[in-house]
Amino acid sequence: MTDSKTTHFGFQEIPVEEKAHRVDDVFRSVANRYDLMNDLMSFGIHRVWKRFAIAIAGIRFGERVLDVAGGTGDLSSVFSEQVGPTGSVVVADLNSSMLSIGRDRLTDQGRVGNVFYVQGDAQKLPFPDNYFHCVTISFGLRNVTNIDQALSSMLRVLRPGGRLLILEFSKPAGFMRPAYDFYSFKIIPLLGRLVVQDEDSYRYLAESIRMHPDQETLQRMMEDAGFKHCEYFNQTIGITAVHRGYKL
């Protein structure tokens, strides 16, 4: 349990003002091999999880989409094609290293003209009210210092009728948890040490999953923030979940 002046960084309790800097250090350390590690850690299944999130986002031609914590651009690349030349996709990320890699990657893919890049905080999104048709955040919400503030900020920038999609690690079915814990706390840090030479960052990422709200709790937080018709879809027996809510 934390008070208003502290928050969690993995299993550690730290001053609130330190978390963003520590998370920034983690992603600066792992940015260059972030996609490779995702493939290794999930055996490639993260691509299936993202495809499902993209499918239920329902992006239409001409829409404006905000991809918060857009990282290396997996979702934004597809959104760029879906919105076409009359739409736009904004990739927002607090970490400059991740944002730079995402920009280079999408440029190499030819995603230019309708994709824009902004370094910004999910809790204080630097965009007008009622602007985007869809906001997405994929594997980024658990790294935010104050999730309630981030949800409120994302609601503010959505147009009435717009939707929020959150893809995040969640709480798997009970029978899976012993094996899942072993893999998370033994294998993932080992992979981090072998592939990225950074065991501590991947230990934090595993711990941060355990500290993230479960499916029902996150749905209630979305509802408390003002989202309507909130629902979630478990994937791989709850290892991840996609939450969706609307601004009315």
Tens-digit pLDDT profile for residues 64-102: 999 999 988 999 999 999 999 999 999 999 999 999 999
**DSSP helix/strand/coil, 223:** helix
- 78, 70 Cβ separation under 8 angstroms: no
What pLDDT score was predicted for residue 1?
A: 39
At 182, list the tokens: 């072993």
CB atoms within 10 A of CB 239: 18
CATH architecture of the domain covering 6-174+202-246: 3-Layer(aba) Sandwich (3.40)
What pLDDT score was predicted for residue 32?
A: 86
What pLDDT score was predicted for residue 173?
A: 86
Q: What is the pTM of this model?
A: 0.93
What pLDDT score was predicted for residue 34?
A: 87
What pLDDT score was predicted for residue 175?
A: 87
What residue ranges of the chain have pLDDT lower than 70? 1-4
The domain spans of the chain are: 6-174+202-246
Among 29, 27, 23, which Cα is nearest to 9's?
23
Q: For residue 14, what is the DSSP state?
A: E
- 28, 20 Cβ separation under 8 angstroms: no
Long-range pairs, 217-220, Cβ under 8 A, ≥24: 218/147, 218/166, 218/168, 218/170, 218/243, 219/243
